[in-house]
Structures are given as C-alpha cells and as structure tokens.
Chain A
C-alpha cells in the first residue's frame, strides 16, 4: 500500500495522544492545575491533530460529517464516533481537573476506555481488509494497543510501565513482521486464483491494461526492496525501544527523557511507514506484482 504521510502521521500521533489520555484517565492522582493543563494539551494536540490530519487524505473533506452515519457496518464510521466520544469525555474530565481541581474518577475511566476503543477501531479499519493479508490478523489490533499504551505511558512520565510496554510492543512488532511475511502466501490468493486460469498452467502478466500508471497502482501497489525493509525494521526497533530504554535507565534527567520520547516517536513513525509500505494488496497480482 502507498505509505501516505497523512495516514502515517495520523495513526502514529493519534495513537500516542490517545495513549497519553488513557493514562491520565486512569491515574488515581491525575495532575491538576497548570501541569495538568500541559499534559492534557499535549494529549489533545496529538490525538486531535492526528485526526485533523487524517481528513487531509479525503477527496471531499467538506463532507466529513457524513462519516458518522454508518456505524452499524463500517469501522471507519465507528472510529469517528469513538474518537469524538473519547475527546469529549476526556475534555470534560480535564476541564474539571484543570480548572476546578476536582477529579471525577468515573469520567476518567470512561474516557480512558473510549481512548482504547478509538485505537481499536482505527486498527480494525486495517485488520478487516481481507485484501491485505498482512494486516488481516488478530495481532494487528494488539500491536496498535501496545504502541498506544507504551508511548502514552512514556509521555505521561511512567518510566518503568512505559519501558515494559514498549518492550512488549517491540516483541509483538517483531513477531508481527515475521508472521506478516508469510501471510500473503498463506492467504491462498495468487495470480492463478485471481485470473482463474491456474487449471491451464502457470500464469504470467503479459501486458498491463495501460501504458501509464493509474490510481490502483499508485494507491495499492508499492514495493519496498526487501533488503531495505530488513534494515528499516532494525532501525525502527532500535529507535522505538532500545534507545529509549538505554536513555531512561541512565541516571535520570529530564532532557534525556525528552530525547527518549523523541526517539520512540521516530521509531514508531518508521514502523508505521513499513506497516503501509510493506503491505501487499492482492490487486497487485493482476499486475504481476509480487
């Protein structure tokens, strides 16, 4: 799939922001006053900003409100609902905390749950697609949750919890990559099943339907060199997990923590780029790709 910068930014930043808001929601003693304000602001900028960026890839952003109508069948529509609900509930919780110094725990828990639900609905948009076997697996939502929870914990200053969760995310990510490499083959979809000509013999794409490119190729057929993919995987793991762990386990300093967070975010961005760039859409088979 084409790794569109707007979708990579959206899933990464909104995941981090929602993760941060989750931890603020379940915190038995959530920060109040100006400190609270700063934390919630970061959470909202990340989560809300990510959602705003995601509308950039729409062909008709002015009609975005229509996306709320089909929650019964569509994960994208459900995502719109959970995201709004999470931001509204958390907003109320934050306002009471910041301006009145009152913590309504029930509200916090409800908001936290909605944050996780939002990350879940986002991940289901990809997981539901049978056409992209690499994504079509239960481990995809698990991976998204671990990323959000780990990054959020780090952002909220929970060093140990954050490191444990990020370690788990790194393990899950490595497993997801290894499993993902097999999934297209395991799906049983081949150029033979795509053309129905397999009973005659081996099928090879002889001539494409057009000499130029088209929407399908630009959007869904993106081939990363395997050699580069392996390197990028290592870079992603190093940045998102190894480097933050080293930095945070050193004698603790605030600026080190900031570098750790930045490294983590950069690592997640790389892994998200791979998430899209490496994903094989079965339509590529009609074009003899992969």
Chain B
C-alpha cells in the first residue's frame, strides 16, 4: 500500500555536517559502487566514456557560495540524497505500490519488480532524490544501505550506510532520529540541525548541521586602513584631460 504508515517504530536516517564536509565526493563513489554491486538493479551509466556521459546516482554533492552582507563569502559543500521523509510525497503518488515507507525503521524503498517507471515519484520529490535508471526502466533511490545495516555477514563497524563508512572527514552520521538520546539526535540538538525546504511539508528524517560561524570583516579593519582609502574619485588635472580627450575620440 502506498499510504504512509501513521508512525514508524524507528526513524533511521543521516545527519550531514555541512561544516565538516570537504566536498571530496567519496560518498558519491562508494554509494555508486555498493549499490551497483549489491541489492537491486545496478546503477547504469549512459555513454560513460563518450561525449555526453550521464548516469544514475543516489547521492550527489553540490557546492554553494554563501555571501553574507558583511563578511567573506563561504563555500559550502552540500551532499544530497533521499531524506527518508516522514510525510513522503513520493510514496503516496505511486500508482503501483512499488514505493513504500517501512513501518519498522522508516526507510523509504522502491520494490523494483513492481515499479512501472512512470517517474511520478521523482516529480513529487522536492529534493531530486529519485532517478529513473535508463537501462533498467525502474526508479532508483537511496536505500539507506538496507543491505548493509542489518547484514550479519559484515563486521560490525561496516553495518552503516556505505557513504557514512567511507566519509574521510566524518561529515556523515547514521542513527535513529526518533530516539532523542541517540548520538545523532544529540548532535542535531547541539548543532541546530535543520530540515531542507521545511515549507514543502515533507518532514524529512535526515538533518543538516549548518556551518559554524566563520570570520567576518568586522573588528579586523586595521588602524591604518583609513589611510588606504582611495584618494581621488574623479580624475583631476592631466588625468582629467586625458580622460576627456579619450572620451571624445
């Protein structure tokens, strides 16, 4: 059924630290690797070595420039994958029941053998977290590595999503966000974790930790700075004459 569960027992998800992410894209590659070799249809590429390469990815890292009014610009690397929303609009639009949200842990999944590849769920997701695989004709999305986190064949430390396990900066955290005492929930509380596009009403489980306050121009202006102010705004004398003459030409 593509109706959403009233409540889920747990809410597994990611906490992504925008202060720590260095934008190395390691999580993108480990995600692509794990999800191509394991559960479900592989993530295909089209024309990978040709002139117009493109492919299916479940996790992508954007980079944004933020320009405060009175401080230096900041560069923020911004990994984005499915946020396993509590009010997931992608689930309710699905006509086949292929998309669903699990009651036990809140993971949003696609049953690939039911998916007709209509693409409506990708339209319904505000975050661009779903991509239709062109080779397979079915919808792909982050599974929160459901085939790792419960996998008893893996050593304990590997039972986290591939992106979390691989991040060299420690910018990605995995846990149960419905438990206020979990490490991830405490991190969110401490650092003011936020929702993306809260006005879309999707109630994402994944949270983003905002960058910590950085340098500002204030208080750092040197005492000698006033002497370095530009002196003449308008050219005078000889310069003015050259300026005028050039203008006339």
Chain A contact residues, CB within 8 Å of chain B: 1, 57-61, 63-64, 66-70, 72-77, 80, 125, 128-132, 187-189, 191, 193-197, 199-210, 212-216, 219-220, 281-283, 286-287
Q: Which residues 43-97 in B have Cβ within 8 Å of A in the complex? A: 52-57, 60-69, 71, 73-76, 78, 80, 89, 91-97
Please indicate the chain B residues that have their CB under 8 angstroms from the CB of A204 in the complex: 64-67
Please indicate the chain B residues that have their CB under 8 angstroms from the CB of A69 in the complex: 95-97
- Closest beta carbon of chain A to B17's beta carbon, Å: 13
A70 touches B117 (CB 8 A): no
Complex Cα spacing A194 to B2, Å = 26
Q: Flag B204-219 by CB within 8 Å of A: 1 or 0 each.
A: 0000101100000000
- Closest beta carbon of chain B to A214's beta carbon, Å: 5
Please indicate the chain A residues that have their CB under 8 angstroms from the CB of B104 in the complex: none
A73 touches B92 (CB 8 A): yes
Across chains A and B, the number of contacting residue pairs, with CB separation under 8 Å, is 203
- Closest beta carbon of chain B to A67's beta carbon, Å: 4
Q: Does B163 contact A (CB under 8 A)?
A: no
Complex Cα spacing A272 to B94, Å = 23
A131 is contacted by which of B2, B3, B89, B198 (Cβ under 8 Å)? B89
Q: Does B24 contact A (CB under 8 A)?
A: no
Complex Cα spacing A85 to B73, Å = 59
B2 is contacted by which of A73, A191, A286 (Cβ under 8 Å)? A73
A58 touches B123 (CB 8 A): no
Interface size on B, as a range, is 35 or more
Q: For residue B96, which residue of chain A has the nearest CB?
A: A66
Q: For residue B25, which residue of chain A has the nearest CB?
A: A209
Please indicate the chain A residues that have their CB under 8 angstroms from the CB of B80 in the complex: 209, 286
A207 touches B116 (CB 8 A): no
- Closest beta carbon of chain A to B31's beta carbon, Å: 12
Q: For residue B127, which residue of chain A has the nearest CB?
A: A283
A203 touches B66 (CB 8 A): yes
Complex Cα spacing A72 to B93, Å = 10
Please indicate the chain A residues that have their CB under 8 angstroms from the CB of B63 in the complex: 205-207
Which of B3, B54, B89 has the largest number of chain A CB atoms within 10 A?
B54
Q: Does B196 contact A (CB under 8 A)?
A: yes
Q: Does B167 contact A (CB under 8 A)?
A: no
Chain B contact residues, CB within 8 Å of chain A: 1-3, 18, 25, 28, 52-57, 60-69, 71, 73-76, 78, 80, 89, 91-98, 114-120, 122-128, 131-134, 136-139, 194-201, 208, 210-211
- Closest beta carbon of chain B to A73's beta carbon, Å: 5
- Closest beta carbon of chain A to B75's beta carbon, Å: 6
- Closest beta carbon of chain B to A45's beta carbon, Å: 24
Known contacts A201-B71, A283-B126; A216 and B116 CB within 8 A of each other: no
Chain B facing A: main interface SS: loop
Complex Cα spacing A210 to B54, Å = 9
Q: For residue B214, which residue of chain A has the nearest CB?
A: A200
Which of A58, A131, A220 has the largest number of chain B CB atoms within 10 A?
A131
Known contacts A59-B137, A196-B208; A67 and B116 CB within 8 A of each other: yes
- Closest beta carbon of chain B to A80's beta carbon, Å: 7
Complex Cα spacing A132 to B123, Å = 8
A74 touches B92 (CB 8 A): yes
Complex Cα spacing A64 to B94, Å = 12
Complex Cα spacing A222 to B75, Å = 27
Q: For residue B131, which residue of chain A has the nearest CB?
A: A215
Complex Cα spacing A204 to B66, Å = 6
Complex Cα spacing A194 to B62, Å = 12
Complex Cα spacing A125 to B134, Å = 23
B62 is contacted by which of A187, A199, A209, A282 (Cβ under 8 Å)? A209
Complex Cα spacing A214 to B61, Å = 13
A73 touches B3 (CB 8 A): yes
Please indicate the chain A residues that have their CB under 8 angstroms from the CB of B132 in the complex: 59, 215, 219
- Closest beta carbon of chain B to A149's beta carbon, Å: 26
A219 touches B119 (CB 8 A): yes
- Closest beta carbon of chain A to B124's beta carbon, Å: 6
- Closest beta carbon of chain B to A64's beta carbon, Å: 6
B117 touches A59 (CB 8 A): yes
Complex Cα spacing A195 to B25, Å = 18
A189 touches B116 (CB 8 A): no
B126 touches A189 (CB 8 A): yes
B128 is contacted by which of A67, A191, A220 (Cβ under 8 Å)? A220
B137 is contacted by which of A60, A70, A130, A194 (Cβ under 8 Å)? A60
Known contacts A214-B54, A215-B56; A76 and B93 CB within 8 A of each other: yes
